[in-house]
């Protein structure tokens, strides 16, 4: 079945229902929700529900997946119309109007404006660093949450938190790739692409300090995009429920269904009095967005049409079979092993108390999320079915190419990509432990990055490496301003020690660099005692932890840095030549692949025919689907698509992560649901719901919209059965788990007293 196609039987039934005039009527309340087979009956007119002619089409819809670029949505107009969209489908291609103009990126998560005064809603887990930045052992906001009763009480989220508003997306493929295939040398080709990219960025941002531009590859470099963002730098915490609401179920429930997690929070974007982005100041005023989402307290019902829009991070559905096999056999097992060690280390750090415990808890939640996702992907690939499917697809591609002599270049490109990847993997495997150690300390990375700045700023700006140009200075300095509050020497030392011990376990011939790094004399044994003694000295003597010391390194010269006695500066200086050599090698590889990968993917797209969504790359995307449950395995009972608040007390143990606060339990016991109840959630307030929408990391906090483009939920997780979706999306098992907006509104109204925020969003407090 071609991507996005609805079964013909559905259209036949749909036409029959329309021809008959829809003689049946329903009372309000929709379906039962018990097995996900109920549904939205249609539009309410008086006390009667008018038939929804698109319901049967939605029930029959088989979601093929796809994180679509906005410009691709016009090609889905017929499909969306058949599914019952209630806005003009082309509106989903316009980044300058609602709803897309309301969708923003907040430091790697997705979010959306929900008021004319810059109020932003995203996930609870997306603001943990904002909370940690404002926490003390005496006032742990990570644990207890936060509510600003007035705008004057809203807390700065820190210099690194940004609200990025996409304003324009331009195709720059010809500007980047035109004629580069004539450059034979891989490094020279990379450097020319790099020069063009920097020139485009400079032109995009010229005389516009409020704008940040980004270049992105699509379809492996067959297409290039330039996105212009308004960068809002003053972001403040407004409201975050307690951890025992926002992270209810914790790591036990992560990637599981049923869920009862209130994963929502609110920020606010501020600008200068002139309406332009500015650094934090108490004189700044709320940002006035071009559009904001209408919050719809009526929510959704089973089989309703829904959309998710945000900034998905990375998928690998177009990768080669060899790349998939490499992940299963090498990358994933190593990532899992190291992450499990890190989880144990951070769990120990959480017992230390004070700031260390707070920071370790934030880091552990993030580590655990990526660990469990990778474990789920690995489990989904374990039976070899997906790899076999990938092998079969590649074989079919080769057969397609062989059928026409004009397609021979596609296979040649594929063979060349595979050969280059094998070369890269062979070298990277030998360097894994070295890279783990070098990347194992934030303090070491801070020293290296500031020293790199001192080197790069000796060059003309256009010749500097991306990330070290004047356009990057403000954000770089902001990261270092936040460093002191986020950094913990106890955690950092333990992490670096863990990576060194892992390297020490290798045969000595495979890690000759470790002894040199530790200053061991020739022939001396590298053991735990030497590692501990050296680390104790390094952390006791270094000044790099101080902001002033790092800024002095950054603004100084390499010659001045060479005189430093600081152990981390000396180590960074010793490592940088190898880092730069590896960087040059990676540039050469990148240049060699720059024309090969696009050539192969161009052929692949031709061979498959129809519309294809590119892999996610942290740019604005849209996915559509329906609200529905699923069967966790063949023959199993179908999960209902909604959970509700009355299920929380039965699940509650009083101990984390099932330790709902008393105010929430009291509100549930009162059974005062106000206008937030749903027949599909048993006549009470729904908490979470399922849909077959297509998401990945980076979609956290993404707005889930109904067919009118109204906000009805926030994406925050997926189901374990669908974790391999980063490689292959399968609509029958892939589910997105969302926080129902009705639960967020009810908690704000009945539990935390956030009436002023409800009013700001156009919701009348009722409890």
Burial 37-50 (b: 16+ CB within 10 A, else e): bbbbbbeeeeeebe
CB atoms within 10 A of CB 146: 23
- Cβ atoms of 656 and 250 within 8 Å: the answer is yes
Relative orientation angle of helices 332-350 and 489-504, to the nearest 10 degrees = 140
What are the structure tokens assigned to 326, written together? 């490499």
Distances (CA, A) of 565 to 561, 568, 590, 688: 9, 9, 37, 56
The CB-side HSE value for 115 (13 A sphere, CA atoms) comes to: 21
Q: Minimal CA–CA distance to 488: which of 538, 412, 524, 539?
A: 539
Q: Quick check: is 125 catalytic?
A: yes
d(CA 669, CA 455): 63
d(CA 213, CA 196): 14
End-to-end Cα separation, the chain, in angstroms: 49
Q: Quick check: is 756 catalytic?
A: no
Residues 6+ apart with CB under 8 A from 580: none
Active site residue: 130, 263, 680, 692, which one? Answer: 263
Would you call 381 helix, strand, or coil by DSSP?
helix
What are the structure tokens assigned to 19, written together? 């021809």
Active site residue: 110, 112, 124, 125, which one? Answer: 125
- Cβ atoms of 44 and 34 within 8 Å: the answer is no
Active site residue: 112, 327, 700, 725, which one? Answer: 700
Q: Quick check: is 700 catalytic?
A: yes
What are the structure tokens assigned to 627, written together? 């609200």
What are the structure tokens assigned to 741, written together? 């907006």
Spell out where 94-174 has E strands.
103-106, 109-113, 119-122, 146-147, 155-156, 163-171
For the chain, give the longest Cα–Cα distance. Answer: 90
Q: Minimal CA–CA distance to 717: which of 703, 732, 743, 697?
A: 697
Q: Which residues are catalytic?
A: 125, 263, 700
């Amino acid at each position: 079945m071609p991507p996005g196609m609805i079964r013909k039987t559905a259209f036949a039934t749909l036409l029959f229902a329309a021809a008959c005039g829809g003689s049946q009527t329903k009372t309000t309340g929709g379906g039962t929700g018990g097995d996900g087979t109920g549904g939205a009956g249609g539009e309410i007119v008086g006390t009667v529900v008018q038939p929804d002619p698109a319901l049967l089409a939605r029930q029959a819809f088989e979601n093929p997946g796809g994180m679509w670029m906005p410009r691709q949505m016009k090609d889905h107009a017929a499909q969306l119309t058949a599914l019952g969209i209630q806005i003009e489908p082309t509106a989903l291609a316009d980044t300058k109007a609602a709803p897309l103009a309301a969708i923003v990126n907040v430091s790697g998560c997705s979010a959306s404006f929900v008021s004319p005064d810059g109020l932003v809603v995203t996930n609870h887990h997306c603001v943990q660093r904002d909370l940690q930045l404002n926490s003390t052992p005496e006032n742990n906001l990570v644990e207890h949450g936060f509510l600003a009763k007035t705008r004057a009480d809203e807390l700065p989220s820190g210099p690194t938190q940004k609200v990025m508003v996409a304003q324009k997306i331009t195709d720059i493929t010809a500007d980047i790739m035109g004629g580069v295939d004539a450059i034979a040398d891989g490094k020279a080709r990379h450097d020319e692409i790099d020069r063009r990219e920097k020139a485009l960025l400079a032109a995009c941002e010229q005389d516009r300090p409020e704008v940040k531009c980004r270049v992105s590859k699509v379809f492996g470099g067959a297409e290039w995009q330039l996105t212009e963002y308004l960068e809002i730098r003053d972001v403040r915490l407004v409201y975050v429920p307690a951890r025992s609401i926002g992270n209810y179920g914790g790591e036990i429930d992560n990637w599981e269904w049923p869920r009862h997690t209130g994963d929502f929070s609110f920020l606010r974007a501020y600008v200068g009095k002139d309406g332009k982005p500015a650094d934090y100041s108490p004189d700044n005023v709320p940002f006035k967005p071009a559009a904001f989402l209408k919050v719809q307290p009526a929510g959704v019902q089973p089989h309703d049409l829904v959309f998710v829009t945000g900034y998905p991070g990375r998928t690998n559905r177009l990768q080669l079979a060899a790349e998939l096999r490499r992940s299963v056999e090498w990358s994933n097992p190593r990532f899992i092993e190291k992450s499990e060690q890190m989880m144990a280390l951070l769990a120990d750090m959480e017992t230390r108390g004070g700031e260390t415990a707070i920071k370790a808890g934030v880091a552990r939640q993030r580590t655990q999320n990526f660990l469990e996702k990778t474990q789920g992907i690995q489990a989904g690939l374990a039976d070899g079915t997906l790899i076999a499917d990938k092998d079969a697809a590649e074989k079919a591609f080769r057969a397609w190419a062989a059928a026409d002599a004009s397609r021979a270049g596609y296979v040649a490109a594929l063979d060349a990509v595979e050969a280059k990847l094998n070369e890269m993997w062979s070298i990277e495997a030998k360097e894994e432990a070295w890279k783990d150690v070098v990347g194992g300390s934030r303090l070491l990375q801070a020293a290296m990055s500031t020293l790199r700045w001192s080197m790069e700023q000796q060059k003309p700006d256009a010749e500097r490496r991306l990330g070290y140009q004047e356009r990057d200075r403000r954000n770089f300095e902001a990261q270092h301003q936040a460093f002191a509050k986020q950094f913990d020497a106890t955690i950092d030392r333990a992490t670096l020690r863990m990576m060194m011990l892992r390297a020490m376990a290798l045969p000595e011939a495979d890690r000759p660099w470790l002894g040199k790094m530790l200053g061991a004399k020739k022939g001396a044994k590298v053991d735990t005692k030497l590692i501990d003694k050296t680390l104790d000295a390094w952390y006791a003597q270094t000044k790099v932890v101080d902001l002033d010391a790092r800024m002095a390194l950054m603004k100084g010269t390499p010659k001045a840095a060479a005189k430093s006695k600081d152990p981390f500066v000396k180590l960074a200086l010793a490592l940088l030549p190898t880092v730069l050599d590896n960087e040059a090698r990676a540039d050469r590889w990148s240049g060699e692949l720059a024309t090969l990968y696009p050539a192969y993917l161009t052929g692949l797209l031709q061979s498959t025919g129809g519309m294809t969504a590119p892999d996610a790359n942290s740019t604005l995307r849209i996915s559509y689907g329906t609200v529905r449950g699923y069967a966790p395995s063949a023959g199993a009972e179908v999960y209902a698509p909604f959970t509700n608040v009355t299920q929380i007390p039965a699940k509650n143990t009083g101990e984390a992560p099932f330790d709902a606060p008393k105010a929430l339990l009291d509100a549930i016991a009162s059974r005062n649901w106000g206008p937030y109840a749903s027949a599909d959630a048993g006549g009470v307030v729904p908490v979470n719901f399922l849909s077959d929408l297509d998401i990945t990391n980076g979609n956290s906090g993404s707005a889930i919209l109904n067919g009118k483009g109204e906000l009805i939920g926030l994406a925050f997780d997926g189901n374990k059965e669908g974790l391999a979706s980063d490689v292959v999306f399968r609509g029958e098992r892939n589910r997105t788990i969302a926080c129902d907006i009705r639960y967020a509104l009810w908690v704000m109204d009945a539990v935390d007293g956030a009436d002023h925020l409800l009013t700001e969003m156009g919701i009348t407090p009722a409890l």
